[in-house]
Amino acid sequence: MSLRQAFGKIGLWFSVVVIVSPAILFFLWMLSLSVKFEVDNAAYPPVFIPEHFAWKNYTDVLASNRFLTYFVNSLVVTGTATLLAMLVGAPAGYGIARMAARKSAIVILIARITPGLSYLIPLFLLFQWLGLLGTLVPQIIIHLVVTVPIVIWIMIGYFETTPLELEEAALIDGATRWQVFRHVALPIAKPGLAVAFILAVIFSWNNFVFGIVLAGRETRTLPVAVYNMISFDQLSWGPLAAAALIVTFPVLLLTVFAQRQIVAGLTAGAVKGG
């Protein structure tokens, strides 16, 4: 019996290694590409750990002032779009949950299945007409397409599970509905807010399709900037991989440290924007 258990244990660990190795090996290879000089990146058979590390790839990317601009652009777009979404989405989730107006969430579902490009055509014209192209405003507004549905959807689900008794008691004591929301419901909903915030940040940060249409030279976000590097630096893999890793690193870090919230949010409705 113990032999069988041992076999079971080995089989389990073998399976674990098989299913995580595509992810681990990919990101290790990404790291390897980013710290190698061109000689090593063009070597055959491939070099996995180079003799000389090309830290220069990172310092070059970070030192270019363009990169700093794009980083700030990404921060502004993702930050503003997420905060606005939290401001309008958390009360909306609360209202929809308390009115049990679940049917109104159908709009969220439609938003979920609509391809991101469909929003771009009319909004592109609108922004052009308003003369906003060339600023970050169009991207902030269109990122709301990603962040608002995520926040509303997750907050509906969360407020449906929070107890009503405290809220009723506060109402009887003469609190207004806004006070109840602000001082009773919202503090209890902090874990839900965290989930909504994290997912909105990640999906906004990662968004690419809105940027390639709406961003000009000065208003690119990081994913668009990295994509534009491909066409210009086709052959220098090291700096490209370094840039790619820098762009996605905050998200990877968040994934490992906030994986419980991410898993909870994704399994709650698997809302993804764009």
Partner 1 sequence: MSTHLDPVGADAPPGREWRPPSYWPFVIPALVVVLAVIVFPWVFTIWMSLNEWKVGSPTTFVGLANYLRLPQDPRFVEAVGHTLVYTALSVLLPLVFGTFAAVVFNANFAGRGLIRGIFIMPMMATPVAIALVWTMMFHPQLGVLNYLLSLVGIPPQLWVFHPGTVIPSLVLVETWQWTPLVMLIVLGGIAAIPTEPYESAQIDGANQWQMFRYITLPLVMPFLFIAAMIRMIDAVKSFDIIFAITQGGPGSASETINLYLYSVAFSYYDLGYGSAIAVILFLLVVALAALLLYLRQRATWTEIGAGA
* Token pair for 63: 């030192």
Residues contacting 75, CB < 8 A, separation 6+: none
Task: Compute, in degrees rounded to 10, the torsion defined by CA atoms 250, 148, 92, 97.
Answer: -80
Nearer to partner 1 among residue 8 and residue 55 (C-beta)? 8
* Least distance from partner 1 to the Cβ atom of residue 130, Å: 12
Strand-pairing partners, residue 135, are 133
* Least distance from partner 1 to the Cβ atom of residue 242, Å: 11
* Least distance from partner 1 to the Cβ atom of residue 256, Å: 4
Nearer to partner 1 among residue 45 and residue 65 (C-beta)? 45
* Least distance from partner 1 to the Cβ atom of residue 208, Å: 5
Nearer to partner 1 among residue 76 and residue 229 (C-beta)? 229
* Least distance from partner 1 to the Cβ atom of residue 55, Å: 19
Nearer to partner 1 among residue 77 and residue 111 (C-beta)? 111
What is the CA angle 196-242-146, rounded to 5? 25
AA identity, residue 91: P
User: Max Cα separation, the chain?
Assistant: 76
* Least distance from partner 1 to the Cβ atom of residue 169, Å: 12
**Cα-Cα end-to-end distance for the chain:** 52
What is the CA angle 212-214-220, rounded to 5? 65
Nearer to partner 1 among residue 53 and residue 86 (C-beta)? 86
Nearer to partner 1 among residue 50 and residue 116 (C-beta)? 116
Q: Report the length, in residues, of the chain.
A: 274
Nearest to 210 by CA among 192, 194, 224: 224
